Amino acid sequence: MVGSMKYSLSFTAASFRLHDFLRVARALANYEGTVDSIEINAEEILGKGNQKTSKREMAEFLKRYNALTATQRNLLLDGTIDEQKHVTFLAITKSNSFIRDFMLEVVRDKFLVFDFQLTDGDYRSFINRKIELHPELENFADSTLEKARQTLFKILADAGIINNIKDRTILQQWLSPLFIKSVTDDNNQFLKVFLLSEKDINLVVHDEY
């Protein structure tokens, strides 16, 4: 689940953007497997009126969409609003190792020791700790890392992981049985990005959660 692939901050091109992601999912409903950007008209789907912006955003949306299983894609289309949000956040964390690692190593670790306050210092500490393993972080300008921080916290707020971008209180996650099954059928370790403990994941695997 967690590898040493290079970190990408491409998520700054498109934050959580649930409604735009749903537009993409509906437009791609008849596609199976991996979808290539060449096959679709980004400007037409996103309606931005700016070809360059549409292509950049679509590239990010496609990374997320292609990370989902067929079951997860169906739940994105037909699920409740909460399930749609959970699938969208799952897609983000599956497709971006920077956000995934931040969730696993910072947000989840704090939540499991009952520290529910997410701070700017947590972000800075994460960056400083990761530079040795991910030297590519040194190539990003401070302004880019700051934009990534702002976008990351907005994603977490829109996903309901934190209450808002000002207070940043980490919230317990309530996951539907359908969503849980879509994850466990894929890789139950991704439940960790929704702050579940190892004990809770074991209960899920044995249908006792």
pLDDT above 70 for 146: yes
Enumerate the H helices of the chain as residue ranges.
18-27, 42-46, 51-66, 70-78, 81-95, 97-102, 108-112, 120-130, 142-159, 177-184, 198-205
**What is the predicted pLDDT for the residue at 54?**
81
| Backbone dihedral angles phi then psi of residue 118, each to the nearest 5 degrees | -100, 130
At the top level of CATH, which class does the domain 11-205 belong to? Answer: mainly alpha
**What is the predicted pLDDT for the residue at 131?**
94
**What is the predicted pLDDT for the residue at 49?**
60
Q: How many CB atoms lie within 10 A of CB 56?
A: 16
**What is the predicted pLDDT for the residue at 5?**
82
Q: What is the pLDDT of residues 67-113, one digit of tens each?
A: 999 999 999 999 999 999 999 999 999 999 999 999 999 999 999 99
The burial of 185, by beta-carbon neighbours within 10 Å (0-12 exposed, 13-18 middle, 19 or more buried), is given as exposed
* Greater model confidence, 12 or 44: 12
| Least confident window among 22-36, 84-98, 150-164 | 22-36
Mutual angle of helices 81-95 and 51-66, in 10-degree steps: 90
| Tokens representing residue 46 in the block | 């996103």
pLDDT band for position 31 (cuts 50, 70, 90): confident
Q: What angle do CA 203, 208, 209 make, to 5 degrees?
A: 70
**Residue 117 near residue 170 (C-beta atoms within 8 A):** yes
Which residues are CB-neighbours of 49 under 8 A, at least 6 positions away? 43
**What is the predicted pLDDT for the residue at 209?**
56
Looking at residue 161, what DSSP letter applies?
S
pLDDT above 90 for 4: no
**What is the predicted pLDDT for the residue at 48?**
67
Looking at residue 29, what DSSP letter applies?
T
**What is the predicted pLDDT for the residue at 208?**
56
Q: What is the pLDDT of residues 163-209, one digit of tens each?
A: 999 999 999 999 999 999 999 999 999 999 999 999 999 988 777 55
* Greater model confidence, 63 or 51: 63
pLDDT above 90 for 52: no
